[in-house]
Amino acid sequence: MKGRDLLRLAYGGFRGHRLRTLLSVLGVSAGIAAVVVLTSLGSAARDYITREFLSLGTNLLIVLPGKTETTGMVPVIGGVPHELTLEDAEYLERNLRSVKRMTPVVLGSARARHRNRARNVTVVGTSETFREVNGLTVARGIFLPRRVARKHEPVCVLGATVARELFGRENPLNQFVRVGGFRFRVIGVTAPRGMMLGADLDEMIEVPTRSAMKLFNRRGLFRLLIELKNEEAIPFVRRDVARLIKERHEGEEDITVFTQDALLATFGKILDAVTAALSAIAAISLAVAGIGIMNVMLVAVSERRNEIGLMKALGATRNQVTALFLTEAALLGGFGGAAGILFGTAACRVFTRIYPDFPVSPPLWAVAAAAFVALGVGAFFGGYPARKAARLDPVAALRSRG
């Protein structure tokens, strides 16, 4: 039997059973649409996180004060025996090799005021590197020069939202902003960047690290970003950082060093768990759809016993009968898959329209996989009915009504 004839005969089997066929196709399409939407969401989330982290630069070590037991996981900061100080950072910079640049970061919130306008802002004590690793661009003026990080210098850079809300249409450059008890001269404004790992970069004010420490009356750093010259240096520098800090902290290794990979892995694990849960939901809906196909095919086999007997009398082999009913089931799956891919893609469009910051579109592999799964579900759940048809005794089948 030729493939095209097989398809034609199988397709003909749906004639006269429009509603039944449509319903089982709808069942499959719901399952496949779920697969498409869920895989798209998962892959969009992964893309989003990878994108955010990539801008951190690949050869990045992040040093946090405090020791956590979990290896590689993002630490929950608890009691800190020794703070990580600016002096620690300077000591590291003097003694480490392969370091491209080092950025101490201090974080806090404060009220910023310009004349009669005020708002709460996140103050970041940092330097030029912060701009680079966060992919910020300067819209006006300059960013914090590297040299000012270690000194107190009352200059600041405004996030786009802060600049707009405090200055309106005025040019903020060289004007003063009062943050906490200090006056800072505005030397730059960053271009809108939006959310990054849950924080809105446009609502921040960047000041030199030392100034932020003064502002918040703090000795310890929030974290220390160390960018290395090459990836190979990561394990060595990591070890050296631990050793050098131990020297300065009276023999205690009370810091945590983690890499971008570890961060990614942490998010990856969370994503994997979410993906597994979503996949289970999709699998259940596909199984339900498959059982629908099986039911429809069993009805078709018992309705067409006579025809099956006839086919055998006309020279059809068992394999041909099996192939015919399998093809019918796979077609149900295939049509369901096509409809499901359309529905799923449409749902992704709607989602993207509602949340434009989080664009979701079905990746090509997901579409291909969905189509494959749809056909597979049809063939798998059509298997039993098809074998049942092939095993029918032709004489008994021909004697039956219908």
Partner 1 sequence: MIRLENISRTFFVGGRPVHALRKVSFSIAEGEYVTIMGASGSGKSTLLNILGCLDRPNAGRYFLDGREVGGMKDEELAAVRGHKIGFVFQAFHLVPRLTALENVELPMVFAGAERGARRRAAQKALETVGLADRAEHRPNQLSGGERQRVAIARSIVMKPAILLADEPTGNLDSRTGLEVIALLEKLNTSGMTLVIVTHDPKLGSRAPHLIRLSDGRVIEDVFPKGAVTAKRSINRAGERADENVAD
Contacts of residues 113-116 at CB distance under 8 Å and 24 or more positions apart, as own/partner, are 113/166, 113/177, 113/178, 113/179, 114/166, 114/167, 114/172, 114/175, 114/176, 114/177, 114/178
Nearer to partner 1, 76 or 314 (CB): 314
| CA triple 157-158-163, angle to 5 deg | 145
For residues 285 and 26, give the distance between their C-alpha atoms in angstroms, rounded to a whole number: 12
Nearer to partner 1, 135 or 394 (CB): 394
CB of 9 to partner 1, least distance (A): 7
CB of 315 to partner 1, least distance (A): 2
Q: Which residues bind partner 1 (CB under 8 A)?
A: 1-2, 5, 9, 12, 15-16, 306-307, 309-320, 393-395, 398
Which residue type does 176 have? Answer: F
Question: Which residues contact residue 194 at a Cβ distance below 8 angstroms, ignoring those fewer than 6 apart?
Answer: 200, 201, 202, 357
Across the chain, which distance is largest between two alpha carbons, in Å? 99
Task: Tell me the backbone φ, ψ of residue 228, rounded to 5 degrees.
Answer: -100, 165
Nearer to partner 1, 307 or 328 (CB): 307
For residues 269 and 49, give the distance between their C-alpha atoms in angstroms, rounded to a whole number: 12
Nearer to partner 1, 50 or 319 (CB): 319
Place of tokens 């990746």: 363
Tokens of 220: 């310890």
CB of 18 to partner 1, least distance (A): 13
For residues 28 and 338, give the distance between their C-alpha atoms in angstroms, rounded to a whole number: 10
Strand partners, 158: 189, 205
Nearer to partner 1, 137 or 319 (CB): 319
CB of 378 to partner 1, least distance (A): 21
CB of 2 to partner 1, least distance (A): 6
Nearer to partner 1, 90 or 393 (CB): 393
Tokens of 256: 């945590």
Nearer to partner 1, 97 or 318 (CB): 318
Nearest of 177, 161, 64 to residue 113 by alpha carbon: 177
CB of 319 to partner 1, least distance (A): 8
CB of 398 to partner 1, least distance (A): 7
Angle, helix 18-54 to helix 318-354, in steps of 10 degrees: 50
Nearer to partner 1, 272 or 393 (CB): 393
CB of 390 to partner 1, least distance (A): 9
CB of 392 to partner 1, least distance (A): 11
| CA triple 58-61-64, angle to 5 deg | 145
Nearer to partner 1, 2 or 169 (CB): 2
Question: Which residues contact residue 80 at a Cβ distance below 8 angstroms, ignoring those fewer than 6 apart?
Answer: 65, 66, 220, 254
